[in-house]
Structure 1
Amino acid sequence: MTEKLFYKDAYLKDCEAEVVDIINENGKVLVVLDKTIFYPEGGGQPSDIGEIDGIKVTYVSEKDGIIYHQMDEVPKSKKVFCKIDFNRRFDHMQQHAGEHLLSGAILRLYGGNNKGFHLGTDYVTVDIDINEISEEMVAKIEEEVNNYIYANEPIKTFIVSKEECKNYPLRKQINVDEDIRIVEVKDMDCCACCGTHVSYTSEVGIVKIIKSERYKGMTRIYCKCGKRAFTDFENKHNVITKLNRYFSVDEDNLFDRVMTQCSELDALKREIAKLKRVFAENEAKQLEAENSKIILKEYNDKSFDDVQLIASVINNKEHVLILSSAADKKIIFMNGTSLDINCGKIFKENIKEFNGKGGGNAQRAQGTFDTEEDLMRFSEFLDSCVKG
């Protein structure tokens, strides 16, 4: 059994320990110590990382009471000096404690139970057995949980027997035979938990719900706590400040200004689409007037979307179209005649020889190429196939 110093003092940053076993497993070095400050992955919380005698500890796990430290190499000494990445540890303490307060608030307000918890690198997720949580509910939950934080109550942890745990108001009953570790915050939350937490609710700083969504008949809540929430606010504040300057408006009127701009942009897009349609129709008429059955044209100044629009205007008429966009290095090949031309088959059998990719059906095919030269060569090839 490895002595778990992180349960005695979650704020402990370093310690001395003794190596009791070294295991080489699938090219990995696993070091066992007599005692450790490294928290092993478990209970929805990632493991600590850090160093042992200056050698990196990249992952920590536990099995049957023994904690294994995955390292880059074997320590040279039997007595070693351990140091954790405390910024990561304290972040996990804030997130995990915040999750407890959040779960307690939801249970108290709406009777929702925590059915799943994950502490990720960007945010915490909590799965609640409520089918849908409204925006009004989210606001109320946030207010309640942050009031818990302001109360600055102690977060207590202790080990109890299976019988003793019946004396505590656990939000989730645990069916185990061994002793249980309880985390309790007076009148806020009480549950079995193996993670690390801050000592007082005020150290959580703040809990901010980022979003909520339906998930497997429940609601998944995404949140950030403490420093993560502050950093998230800082990033969003910087974005808002830049937008304020760009639109020359204060944040109270920013949304209205953005919506006005979006409406104007949508109107311009519709107008451009109409003009492009007019141009495509005029271009199609000119191409039909200048050509007979085969229309071959390469456009240097038009996107492939514009080229496709021109082709759509001519579509279903007695023409074979070979239209390309040099700018996008793409081509469209269409057969609206009775000629025995299978567009898709020609592409499938030949386009790779021209460093191109694409395909289609008997009446229509399109492709893209690495270079403009390849595009031109394939266009000429298609022309020769049609003319026989």
Structure 2
Amino acid sequence: MELANRVKTLTPSSTLAITAKAKELKSQGHDVIGLGAGEPDFNTPQSILDAAEKAMREGHTKYTPSGGLPALKDAIIEKLKADQQLEYKPEEIIVTNGAKHSLYTLFQVILNPGDEVIIPAPYWVSYPEQVKLAEGEPVVLESKEENHFKVTPEQLEKAITSKTKAVILNSPSNPTGVMYSAEELKALGDVCLKHDLLIVSDEIYEKLIYTDQQHVSIAQLSETLKKQTIIINGVSKSHSMTGWRIGYTAGDSKLIKAMTGLASHSTSNPNSIAQFAALEAYSGSQEKVEEMRKAFQERLEKLYELITDIPGITCVKPKGAFYLFPNVSEAAKANGFSNVDEWVQALLEEEKVALVPGSGFGAPNNVRLSYAISISQLEEAAKRIKRFVRNHQ
């Protein structure tokens, strides 16, 4: 049977080989330290677990509206009002099966064949693939490490063509952890307004920030920018609920209606129990969210210090998320490897440390390290990486 052309265009995940090798080594009894995790290592807070159990016992196990429970929409509206001072109506919100589903559904309803979406690199690996699945064209806009991996208005202006439909902004970023300031967002927003471009603002890491700089949504900056912005968010990272699969989109009611219609014919509705859990996540105590944030901040400081002490490795210090994205190209070259991917593979085989190569994020000189594991494991991982670099010099 011949496969559809749309799936033939997908790029295989650059992490698959490393992940498979790490699992193989673990199954053989090796002590593998995995720094590839894209999720918090904490369990979902107890109050959220209790809310889910209560929902099940009360019989909330049936279909819900395709766009999400009205009560959960209301809680999201209150969250956006409290955190971003943004006013939305229920018809401007859709609850989805995770933020990834929000993005997928959005691209399906806004893109026609050949429409372009500008994606700053380094980028989250699914952005270009989801654009391609909607028969759009991902336009990768390479940022400079010396500019802390942030694109400039001038770069954005040059990348825009008559086919450009949207721009993706991810702040704090996966994989770099960098954040845009209000001034930087305003400058990029002005370019988008000039060309009538939709702004897709992925804010999934907004609660995991380790600096005095506050998270700013580009939609906050003006009413005109709000009208041009689609906010993507969810409970996965903020409340350690990756497996519950609840995200949301906030934006223009016309787009939300189209997304809801598509969801009604694809997923029917988000999981009912998970929606009640998310309702508690947004309306209940946020104490555990802050506890997790503080733990990640402590890990960041320790790992950053250890990694930047290794010869040939430099790193832009992140302000949010839970990743380091160091440049290891000098170390790889000094160690005798032709590229970073080979260096990553050898590190796993010799020292049993699994990193994610940056090639999958559009940055082949870098690697992504997650600090969503214990400090003792992070210290051991850094020790092994340092030993590996020295042994190959």
TM-score (norm 2): 0.22
Pick the structure with more helix per residue: 2
TM-score (norm 1): 0.22
Q: Highest relative contact order (Cα 8 Å, sep 6+), 1 or 2?
A: 2
Larger radius of gyration between Structure 1 and Structure 2: 1
